[in-house]
Amino acid sequence: MTAPLFPPISMLAELTHRCPLQCPYCSNPVELMKANSELDTKTWLDLFRQAADLGVLQVHLSGGEPTLRRDLEELVDGLAMRGVYTNLITAGVLIPPGRIHALAEAGLDHVQLSIQGAHADTTELIGHYRGAYEQKLETARRVRAAGLPLTVNAPIHRHNIEQVPEFIELALALGAERLEIANVQYSGWALVNRDALMPDREAVDRQVEIVTAAQERLRGIMNIDFVTPDYFATYPKPCMGGWARDAFVVVPDGTVLPCHAAQTIRSLSFARFGEHSLGDIWANSSAFNAFRGTDWMQEPCRSCERREIDWGGCRCQAMAIAGDAAATDPACIKSPIHARMAMLIEDAQTAAREHKGDEFVYRRITHAREPV
């Protein structure tokens, strides 16, 4: 049946695609938006007001690197004035002294800091940025000095999966309340680099054992979020909690999406804020309604007892692997092409053995970085 329309409670605001790092696992689209396409301050503030009116309770300020926006304090203040919880998702580099404190004074509630490796050399290899590791640790210290809660985000792939125990110890040392063991999802630049990023099954199994033990050991001390990576899963997870159920994404030019990778589904047309109100887009957009609820589902999803648990899984992954956005997510064991996931894992391992899959294709949009 069609799911009832509830108000959204969460929003990911991609304020910019500019970033000093060039991470090959980045989920942003391969065609990155330039600075001159970004919404201005006034438009973002209007969008945030409409989001609060709709019922949004939390906004994740992301990018690219959101601290490259000079108006970030003003945007945070606008959200704080409406009582909206704000989470800054940052790479933690090129942030001048005093900026974190200024953001806290403006009303920022939380900081999520990405760290690409538990060691400096791994962090610099992945981010393609000299000195990134030290800058990230300093940002973490400034976050805690400003009295803000800290989440460490550890994007996991072949080149750092064996560092998971050290990521756990690093997050503890930095005083983080939360650690995300964030296995890379293959969209955007990560899909381009899939062969270079895909871990092997044995490494994933070890990771599960290590994280499960740490979750128990650190219960009440630090929360560790972990989800088995899709390509190694038995059942899919609900994308964004289910397509257009309670969350949405706005990209730098104001285009509103049900999930961050939705534009890879070329058959869908997405509305832009300013041309339409946020409420109209949420309720009436053809793209938002395309996979909302269960009426769109094919078999085996349509009759599956999990259809209102995982909501069919990831539509973008179905598009990328099955060639049909309405197909069962191939991560699901009930998918007729589930075996294709194992084939893709093996293809990546073959490329690694033959040294054909180790070169990264780095994202490039800015020269705002140290020379490497």
At CA 38, angle to CA 246 and CA 10, rounded to 5?
A: 15
Label the pairing between strands 256-257 and 247-250: antiparallel
175: nearest Cα among 146, 144, 197:
144
Q: Determine if residue 26 is labeled as part of a ligand binding site.
A: yes
Buried b (16+ CB within 10 A) or exposed e, 286-311: ebbbbbbbbebbeeebeebebbeebb
Beta strand residue intervals within 26-177, DSSP E: 58-62, 85-90, 110-114, 150-156
Q: Determine if residue 332 is labeled as part of a ligand binding site.
A: no
73: nearest Cα among 106, 115, 116:
106
Q: State both tokens at 17.
A: 């695609």
In what helix (H) or strand (E) does residue 120 lie, and over which residues does it extend? Answer: helix 120-127
Q: Within a 10 A sphere around the Cβ of 330, how many other Cβ atoms?
A: 24
Amino acid at the residue 256:
V
In the block, which residue shows the tokens 């899963």?
A: 233
The Cα–Cα gap between 139 and 147 comes to: 13
In the block, which residue shows the tokens 């050399």?
A: 121
Helices 99-106 and 72-81 sit at what angle, rounded to 10 degrees? 20
The Cα–Cα gap between 227 and 235 comes to: 11
Helix and strand element counts for the chain (H, E)? 13, 9
134: nearest Cα among 153, 114, 120:
120
The Cα–Cα gap between 346 and 199 comes to: 10
Q: Determine if residue 239 is labeled as part of a ligand binding site.
A: no
The binding site consists of: 19, 23, 26
The binding site for [4Fe-4S] cluster consists of: 19, 23, 26
